[in-house]
């Protein structure tokens, strides 16, 4: 909730009084107020799971040169290539192929359907908490993380976590679509957290595109218990959350068998293609404890690293 009162004499109070308190600042205040609970829950879950896993930090700068990129907040000063930087007005970091292989790109579906809940946590909240907790574990294990669809390169440390947290507190996107394609380093991992209740061909096409470029992916479908176990009875009006579709059903229980068939078919298509491409696909209910889903995701991402 946006703060409605600020201490007299404070900078914020004077700005509000003078009319300079802009909508953007109001939004920033709202985000800042909501940030701690999200991070606290993610840290709690990550700490619980971390007791059962052992990250493996790798040392060394890598072996084969990959690229130079501009220095950004969160990079270590030891990663700066001073010779390259001396030829420019900017600082540059040298990245090698070995380092690029340790990048993990996260995407949390922020569309309207993720806001649905039949009484427990929303799918949106659960996806954000799991993504942040996974990022924390991966950073502890020496990985670099980035948000899929965002311009920032993979990093370790506090900076990418802060960016993810604020990103996940934004208002939902208008439609359930994957981020626009972007070039990723070969051997990178990408993790998608969504209900995937949109056209399966959209998901399959992007999976094939990335797999063809040497990218490994991990998909976690998050469903509300009412979606996972169809339990509607009697006269029910179903309303679309991303369009104006409305359906009034006199005996909703008659739709259960067809609903279950379609959901299983949808999951089977995505799961089968994931296995064929060497990806992973799993399902998580928002009324179940998040620890098991987090542990499975973490194990899938780091599996190739354990030698």
How many alpha carbons fall within 13 Å on the CB side of residue 263?
17
Q: Are 210 and 183 in contact (CB under 8 A)?
A: no
The sign one gets for the Cα dihedral 44, 46, 51, 52 is positive
- How many whole angstroms separate alpha carbon 287 and alpha carbon 278? 29
pLDDT at 57 exceeding the cut of 60: no
With H, G, I as helix, E, B as strand and everything else as coil, classify residue 63: coil
User: How much helix, strand and coil, in percent to the nearest 5, is found in the chain?
Assistant: 45, 15, 35
pLDDT by residue (tens digit) across 215-244? Answer: 999 999 999 999 999 877 777 776 666 666
Q: Are 146 and 106 in contact (CB under 8 A)?
A: yes
pLDDT at 10 exceeding the cut of 50: no
pLDDT at 199 exceeding the cut of 70: yes
β partners of residue 190: 105, 217
pLDDT value of position 13: 42
* Cα-Cα end-to-end distance for the chain: 48
Q: Are 237 and 247 in contact (CB under 8 A)?
A: yes
- Candidates 2.60.40, 3.20.90, 3.60.15, 3.40.50; correct CATH number of 102-305? 3.40.50
Give how far Cα 120 sits from Cα of 27, 81, 196, 208, Å. Answer: 26, 50, 19, 34
Single out the residue of 151, 147, 160 nearest to residue 191, CA to CA: 147
If you average pLDDT over every residue of the chain, what do you get?
78
Single out the residue of 283, 284, 278, 270 nearest to residue 304, CA to CA: 278
| Cβ neighbours for 71, distance < 8 A, ≥ 6 positions apart | 79, 80, 85, 90, 91, 92, 93
β partners of residue 249: 236
Burial class (CB in 10 A: 0-12, 13-18, 19+), 188: buried
Task: Enumerate the domain spans of the chain.
Answer: 65-95, 102-305
Q: How many residues does the chain have?
A: 307
Residue 45 dihedral angles phi and psi, to the nearest 5°: -65, -45
Average pLDDT over every residue of 36-48: 73
Average pLDDT over every residue of 73-100: 78
Residue 155 dihedral angles phi and psi, to the nearest 5°: -140, 170
Single out the residue of 115, 116, 154 nearest to residue 135, CA to CA: 154
List the Cα angle 100/103/107 in 5-degree steps: 140
Higher pLDDT, 284 or 10: 284
């Amino acid at each position: 909730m946006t703060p409605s009162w600020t201490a007299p004499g404070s900078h914020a109070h004077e700005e509000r009084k003078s009319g300079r308190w802009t909508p953007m600042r109001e939004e920033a205040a709202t985000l800042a107020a909501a940030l701690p609970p999200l991070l606290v829950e993610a840290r709690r879950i990550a700490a619980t799971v971390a007791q059962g896993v052992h990250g493996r930090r790798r040392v060394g700068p890598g072996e084969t040169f990959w690229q130079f990129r501009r220095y950004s907040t969160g990079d270590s000063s030891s990663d700066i290539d001073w010779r390259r930087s001396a030829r420019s007005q900017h600082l540059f970091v040298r990245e090698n192929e070995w380092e690029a292989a340790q990048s993990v790109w996260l995407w949390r579906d922020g569309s309207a359907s993720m806001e649905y809940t039949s009484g427990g946590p929303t799918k949106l909240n659960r996806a954000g908490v799991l993504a942040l907790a996974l990022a924390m574990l991966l950073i502890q294990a020496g990985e670099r993380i980035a948000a899929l669809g965002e311009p920032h390169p993979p990093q370790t440390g506090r900076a990418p976590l802060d960016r993810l947290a604020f990103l996940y507190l934004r208002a939902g996107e208008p439609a359930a679509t994957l981020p626009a394609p972007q070039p990723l380093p070969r051997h990178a991992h990408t993790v998608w957290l969504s209900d995937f209740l949109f056209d399966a061909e959209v998901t399959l096409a992007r999976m094939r595109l990335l797999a063809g470029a040497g990218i490994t992916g991990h998909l976690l479908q998050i469903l509300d218990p009412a979606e996972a176990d169809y339990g509607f009875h009697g006269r029910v009006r179903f309303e679309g959350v991303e369009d104006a579709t409305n359906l009034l059903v006199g005996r909703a229980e008659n739709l259960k068998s067809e609903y279950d068939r379609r959901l299983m078919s949808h999951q089977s298509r995505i799961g089968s293609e994931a296995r064929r491409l060497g990806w992973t696909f799993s399902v998580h209910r928002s009324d179940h404890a998040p620890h098991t889903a987090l542990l499975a995701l973490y194990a899938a991402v780091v599996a190739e690293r354990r030698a």
